[in-house]
Homo-oligomer: A and B are copies of this chain.
Amino acid sequence: MLMREYIILNFKTYEESTGDKALNLAKICDEVARETNARIVVIPQLTDIYRISQAVEIPVYSQHIDNVKPGSNTGYILPESIKAAGAVGSLINHSERRLKLSDIEADIRRIRELDMVSIVCTNNVEVTKATATMGPDFVAIEPPELIGSGISVSKTRPEIISGSVDAVKNLNPDVGVLCGAGISTGEDVKKAIELGACGVLLASGVIKAKNPRAVLMDLVSGLG
């Protein structure tokens, strides 16, 4: 049986997670998920979604979608195109790709209509509350100053996680809260879960690691 909580890995645009290397990394995640029964999700670049979704059993999400309909939108990311490539969910409003409020609301609806999973990234408790009212599947709270820092939000700013968890529970208890920014060890994960998060969103901690499999195993040890 799968564990309840999530480890969600954003591949960003690192050299270590592009093309063949992305495929390889996704396969490692897939193996760790199978061995440990952990819920692991990978979020590769758009160009790598297809080949990764063909090769692994764990869910593959997209890093971004654009609020466009099928038609004349050269260079934009049609939600239907990521689904056709095998993605079953998408990040929305990552701190490196902030979106307009009206687009976030439309994106959440589109993703729901396509039977996919939405994770909306937020930067503070106020934005988390606003986002929760729009009913995404998850919010991922990531204080921008801690992203990529190696300083875990769950340890240094626990009130942001617990504040978000409380606020979301009040406004829209169906929305899960993910903890991002600075997560790199099983202890960080454990602390996040204790604060009420239902999982973690991370990137460099695994992708830039010398031994991604070992880091993943450690992260999983913090679950459940």
Residues of A participating in the B interface, judged by any CB pair closer than 8 Å:
10, 12-15, 18-20, 45-51, 63-64, 68, 70-78, 80-82, 84-85, 91, 93-105, 122-124, 126-127, 129-131, 133-134, 147-148, 171, 203-204
Q: How far is the CA of A120 from the CA of B33 in the complex (A)?
A: 44
Which residues does chain B contribute within 8 Å of A71, judged by CB atoms? 12-14
Q: How far is the CA of A49 from the CA of B75 in the complex (A)?
A: 12
- The answer to whether A13 touches B101, judged by C-beta atoms less than 8 angstroms apart, is no
Which residues does chain B contribute within 8 Å of A72, judged by CB atoms? 12-14, 96, 147-148, 203-204
Which residues does chain B contribute within 8 Å of A68, judged by CB atoms? 13
Which one, B14, B47, B93, B133, contacts A171 given CB within 8 A? B133
Q: How far is the CA of A70 from the CA of B37 in the complex (A)?
A: 32
Which residues does chain B contribute within 8 Å of A148, judged by CB atoms? 72
Q: List 7 A-B contacts (CB under 8 A).
A: A18-B84, A20-B84, A46-B81, A76-B97, A93-B101, A98-B101, A99-B100
- Since A19-B80, A47-B81, A72-B203 are in contact, a sample of 6 more A-B pairs with Cβ atoms closer than 8 Å, ordered by chain A residue number, is A12-B74, A13-B72, A75-B94, A101-B104, A101-B127, A130-B131
Copies in the complex: 4
Ordered nearest first, which 7 A-B pairs have the shortest CB separation? A19-B84, A64-B75, A75-B97, A47-B85, A15-B70, A13-B78, A74-B94
Q: How far is the CA of A101 from the CA of B94 in the complex (A)?
A: 11
Which one, B14, B76, B123, contacts A13 given CB within 8 A? B76
- The answer to whether B74 touches A97, judged by C-beta atoms less than 8 angstroms apart, is yes
Which residues does chain B contribute within 8 Å of A100, judged by CB atoms? 98-101
- The answer to whether B77 touches A46, judged by C-beta atoms less than 8 angstroms apart, is yes
- The answer to whether A102 touches B74, judged by C-beta atoms less than 8 angstroms apart, is no
Contacts A50-B51, A64-B74 known; A13 to B104 CB distance under 8 Å?
no
- The answer to whether B46 touches A80, judged by C-beta atoms less than 8 angstroms apart, is no
